[in-house]
Structure 1
Amino acid sequence: MNKGFNKGAQGGFTLIELIVVIVILGILAATALPKFASLSGDARGASLKSAKGAISAASAMLHGKWLISNATPIAVEGASIDMVFGYPSQGTIALAAGLDPKEYVATPNGQQMTFRPINMPAALNATCFVSYNEATAAVPTPVIVVNTDKCE
């Protein structure tokens, strides 16, 4: 018995199989898209949390240096950091924390400095920021607030 190829048979996918595969790929893409779409918001939030950490660390280290020297301004790596009640002023905290002006927009408001990612849409200004409120008396420390609620 010699079984050969049937000359009338066709090989490959049928149209229905092709449509089913395309539908399945579409469902998978629709499921994965929201995760990839929110990555920029997650990156902004992580950047702001990193900035908050840098501000907190710089504030604490400079306060320690101020306690030892009891002098103002304090020189750090060639930069002069103004101190208010033993903590960096709002005007020099970005310099002290090493925040790059190419990455953050700094907005002063009285004794507060607010930082936002430079490439962020203006509509997110009220909900995506880190702020530094300088010390207002010898005992309280500066208040550092990060808001990443709606950074997408």
Structure 2
Amino acid sequence: MKVNKGFTLIELVMVIVILGILSVLAAPRFLNLQTDARNSALQGLKGSMEGAFSLAYGKLAIAGYEKLSYFDFDVEDVFPGCTGNCKFSYGYPVPTEEALSYIVNGIGTDFSVGMFQGTGEKPFVFISSPENMTDSGALVKESCYLKYSMTTIIGDGETISPGEVEFFECK
């Protein structure tokens, strides 16, 4: 009498089919790569913005412009090619697409700047991927963006709070 060892072809096919079904069902739960990639890109942009703002502040401080509340004249002396709506306040960029795209690579090409919003002491803009912005500059969904708030003066007028970049993760 001959004893068979191993799997039959039908058993092998059934195992492959079952593993395929399980992987299709389980993969989306464990491999959320697109959301992770978007979050990483925004975190990287946030770091780039904060670093670029420090460098811009240093250049304006060397030129003696860091104490001006609103600076758009002679900006070409410090930042050649920064014209139009490329403005600064207390050494930090005013939240406009022109100023932000001049200082930070990727803004205006890979990322869009939303409509200038807010009144009073702390105006702001949203920065997100072009897919998350409407033509009018509003957010499509309330996640997956950066919020850049303008520089403010605290208290007696001597303490300057630099612009703040907040990260709102993708969901």
Which secondary structure state, in structure 2, belongs to the residue aligned with residue 145 of structure 1? strand
What is the deviation of 1:127? 1.5
Contact persistence 1:55–1:94 (CA under 8 A): no
1:120 Cα deviation after fit: 4.0
Q: Distance in 2 between matches of 1:33 and 1:125?
A: 21
More strand by share: 1
**Hey, what does 2:27 align to over in structure 1?**
32
**Under a length normalisation based on structure 1, what TM-score does the superposition of the two structures give?**
0.76
TM-score w.r.t. the length of structure 2 is 0.68
- The Cα offsets for residues 18-75 of structure 1, whole Å up to 9 and x where unpaired, read as 2233112322332233333x21111111111111111111111111111111134263
Q: 2:93 maps to which residue?
A: 88
Pairing partner for 1:78 from 78, 81, 93? 81
1:82 shift after superposition: 1.9
* Distance in 2 between residues matched to 1:52 and 1:79, nearest whole Å: 21
Query: Structure 2: how far apart are the matches of 1:32 and 1:121?
Result: 29
Q: Which residue of 2 aligns with 1:143?
A: 164
Q: Which amino acid aligns with 2:141?
A: N
- Tell me the amino acid that sits aligned with residue 55 of structure 1: M
Does the aligned pair in 2 maintain the 1:57–1:97 contact within 8 Å? Answer: no
Shifted more, 63-72 versus 42-51: the winner is: 63-72
Which protein shows a greater Rg? 1
8 Å CA contact retained: 2:107, 2:113: no
RMSD over equivalenced CA pairs, Å: 2.7
1:52 is matched with which residue?
Answer: 46
